[in-house]
Amino acid sequence: MSTASSSEPLDGPQPAPRPEDGTRRSFMKQAGGILGLALAPPIVSQAERLAAYSKTVEGVSALQLNINGAARTIQAEPRVTLLDALREYLDLTGTKKGCDHGQCGACTVLVDGKRINSCLTLAVMQQGKQITTIEGLAKGDALHPMQEAFIKHDGFQCGYCTPGQIMSGVACVQEGHATTDEQCREWMSGNLCRCGAYPNIVAAVREVAGKG
């Protein structure tokens, strides 16, 4: 009886090569398969996917904001920040966009008398509240005392941060946090001035506080 030589293939399916067969390629194939199974994302049903997206975001809608004593209505998405609503939708560009991360204070406005960074809040969340921007401080041609003090003490150079500085200064005085230079510097520290006009800013805020 003749037998197949060692060079001829055997009949039937052959077992998959094992790592111990001595070939690096077979080892890498098996290792890759195991890793692929371990990292494969879990199987999610269609119902679960729909449930995950059940809370849909509505589109453009009417938002009514009370700004500087007047009711203003805009058409905007819920994701629009108060800062963008003021600048892009209402053309109130006195409020500045600096870092857009709540770190520089250039976008400071007052909401119900309290200072906030308008870049960190949504316009839709401020409906029904009283919003005051730098444009709303003066009474006609009569400047607000804080504006006058900034001019008197030269509390600005390039002027970009000045609206936010003034709005924060107004709130700082109202809060009673400007009784000393050290206290004033601490409570105004959220407003940055790249020109370095801090001594003059403190002098302006302290003068207004002294008149109160």
> Is there a contact between 75 and 58 (Cβ–Cβ < 8 Å)?
no
Strands (E), the chain: 61-67, 70-76, 108-111, 114-117, 130-132
Higher pLDDT, residue 14 or 76: 76
Percent of the chain clearing pLDDT 90 (strictly above): 71
* Rounded Cα distance, 147 and 137, in Å: 8
Encode pLDDT of 72-127 as tens digits: 999 999 999 999 999 999 999 999 999 999 999 999 999 999 999 999 999 999 99
- SS3 of the chain: helix, strand, coil, percent, to 5: 40, 15, 45
Q: Which two tokens stand for residue 103?
A: 């770190």
For residue 211, what pLDDT is reported? 83
Task: Give the integer Cα–Cα distance in Å for 108 and 168.
Answer: 7
What is the pLDDT confidence band of residue 37, given thresholds at 50, 70 and 90?
low
State the chain's mean pLDDT as an integer: 86
Closest CA to 123 of 88, 85, 94: 85
Q: How far apart are CA 106 and CA 167, in angstroms?
A: 9
Are 172 and 206 in contact by the 8 Å Cβ rule? The answer is no
Answer whether residue 10 shows pLDDT above 80: no
Which residue(s) pair with 108 in the sheet?
117
Strand partners, 114: 111
Arithmetic mean of pLDDT, 61-65: 96
DSSP secondary structure code for residue 10 in this structure: P
pTM score over 0.85:
no
Task: Please classify residue 66 by burial: count the beta carbons closer than 10 Å to its beta carbon, then call 0-12 exposed, 13-18 middle and 19+ buried.
Answer: middle
Identity at 170, one-letter amino acid code: V
Question: Regarding predicted confidence, which is higher, 50 or 46?
Answer: 46
pLDDT recorded at residue 54: 46
Which tokens in the block code for residue 109? 């406005």
Q: Could you read off the pLDDT of 115-135 as tens digits, one per residue?
A: 999 999 999 999 999 999 999
